Amino acid sequence: MGLIRGVARTAVVAGTASAVSGRVQRRQQGRWAAQDAQNAQPAYAEPQYAPPPPQYAAPPPAAPAGDDMDAKLAQLRELAGLRDQGVLTPAEFDAQKARILSA
């Protein structure tokens, strides 16, 4: 009988130790998994983009081309009249015409 009692006692002690060890191991794995989840970054994180450039106010609308062209034509007619009267030399006329047309 002594042999059976010793074997039974050993089995109970070994079974209890295995159960306790397994529970401790599962609890530690759960804690480690929670820590990993907190520390880990998502595998496909949202890409970081540079902030968009600041938006500026729209430039003022350009003056109608017709009015501007009419003013240029009037200046050219006036210069041509001065050239025809001899007030301006042809070189001066050409220089003023180039200035008006480039503006």
Q: What is the pLDDT of residue 1?
A: 58
Q: Which two tokens stand for residue 53?
A: 């450039």
Q: What is the pLDDT of residue 68?
A: 82
Q: What is the pLDDT of residue 54?
A: 79
pTM of this prediction exceeds 0.85: no
- The label of the residue with tokens 């041509």 reads 80
- Contact call for residues 103 and 96 (beta carbons, < 8 A): no
Distance from C-alpha of 75 to C-alpha of 99, rounded to nearest angstrom: 11
Low-confidence stretches of the chain (pLDDT < 50) are none
Q: What is the pLDDT of residue 72?
A: 87
Distance, CA of 99 to chain centre? 44
